[in-house]
Amino acid sequence: MNHIVSMKWLLARLYEPDLVIVDCRFTLGQPDQGRTAYDETHIPRAVYLDLEKDLSSPAAQHGGRHPLPDMEQLASAFGKAGIHQEARVVIYDDQGGMMASRLWWMLKYTGHEQAYVMDEGFTAWKKASYPVTDETPVVIPVTYEPSLQPAMLASMEDVRAASKDGSHILIDSRDPRRYAGIEEPLDVKAGHIPGAVNYFWKGVQDASGHWKDAQALQEHFSGISKDAQVIVYCGSGVSACPNVLALKEAGYTNVKLYAGSWSDWISYEENPISTGEE
C-alpha cells in the first residue's frame, strides 16, 4: 500500500532520524479531549497537531465547519512540529484514520511526498503492548516550504457545476442516514448535494478496523470508472479524506476534496438540496 503503513512498520523504524510521528487524535464536539489523551500517553517521539487549532481556520459564514487554515499558519505549525519536505511523516489517531487522513491530505496538498497514515490506531498500538510514553518530545523547529497542489481541491463553484452537468462524480462520505436526510446531528439542513452518490467513509476499512488492500478498495469503488473525475465531500472536509486516500490506493488519479463540504454548501441559500437515494 502506498499511503498506509502497519504498526509493525512504524515500530521497526521508531527512532529513525528522518521520521516525524504525528498524533492527530480528536473528538468532534469535545475539542480538548485529543490533546488531553496525548498528554496522558502517546507513541514515543510523537508530536501533537490539533484538528481545530492547527489544521483548520475558525468557522465563518462560508467555508464550512472546518475551513482549511491559512497556508502560512499551516506551514508554521508544520515547521514547529519538525516537519520539513524531506521528512517521512507517519500520522495516527484513534478515530479510524479520519483525523490522520485529514493531515495526510493537507501534507499532500502542500506538496509533501512522504506522508503516511498508520493502520488501526493508538488503542490497537497499546493493545499490542508497543511502547508508549507521556514525555513530550523536544522538537527543533524547521522551515516548511509549502508547494500547493491546486488540482487536489474543488471549490464550491466546481461542485455546483458538477452537480448540474455531471462532469465530475460527487461522492458523499457521510453516514447513509445523513446522506438521505433522515437525520442530521451536526448541520442546520439535512440531505445531500444533488447528483452525489453515497460511499460511507468507514466502508474503506474491514470489520476489524484495518484499511482494505488495493484490490478490495477497487471492488469497493467498482461502480466508478477509473477515468472519472471525482470530487469527495462529507460534513466539514474531515471524513471525506479517508475516501480520498482510499481512492488513491485503488488507483484513481483525478480526485479532488471539497474542503467546505456539506456545511459550506448549505451556507448558500440558493444551493439546492436532495434527500433520499439518488
Mean pLDDT along residues 172-196: 96
Active-site residue (options: 20, 234, 246, 259) = 234
What pLDDT, on the 0 to 100 scale, is given for residue 277? 87
What pLDDT, on the 0 to 100 scale, is given for residue 6? 98
Using alpha carbons, list the distances in angstroms from residue 69 to 34, 55, 73, 160, 259.
19, 6, 7, 23, 11
What pLDDT, on the 0 to 100 scale, is given for residue 59? 94
Under 8 Å between Cβ of 107 and 82: no
Grid cell digits, residue 27: 473528538
Per-residue model confidence as pLDDT tens digits over 118-167:
999 999 999 999 999 999 999 999 999 999 999 999 999 999 999 999 99
Statement: residue 198 has pLDDT above 90: yes
Under 8 Å between Cβ of 4 and 116: yes
Give residue 181's region: left, alpha or beta (phi > 0; psi -120 to 50).
Answer: left
- Nearest by Cα to 46 from 22, 24, 25: 22
Q: How many CA atoms within 13 Å lie on the side-chain side of 90?
A: 26
- Nearest by Cα to 44 from 140, 143, 99, 126: 126
Beta bridge partners of 232: 171, 257
Q: Please tell me whether the overall predicted TM-score, pTM, comes out greater than 0.85 for this model.
A: yes
CA distance 13 to 77: 24
Residue type, 181: G
What pLDDT, on the 0 to 100 scale, is given for residue 209? 92
Statement: residue 1 has pLDDT above 80: no
Q: 217 in helix, strand or coil?
A: helix
Mean pLDDT along residues 90-108: 98
Per-residue model confidence as pLDDT tens digits over 37-84:
999 999 999 999 999 999 999 999 999 999 999 999 999 999 999 999
DSSP-derived letter for residue 278 is: -
Per-residue model confidence as pLDDT tens digits over 215-265:
999 999 999 999 999 999 999 999 999 999 999 999 999 999 999 999 999
Query: Does the annotation mark 234 as catalytic?
Result: yes
CA distance 97 to 3: 12
CA distance 136 to 117: 21
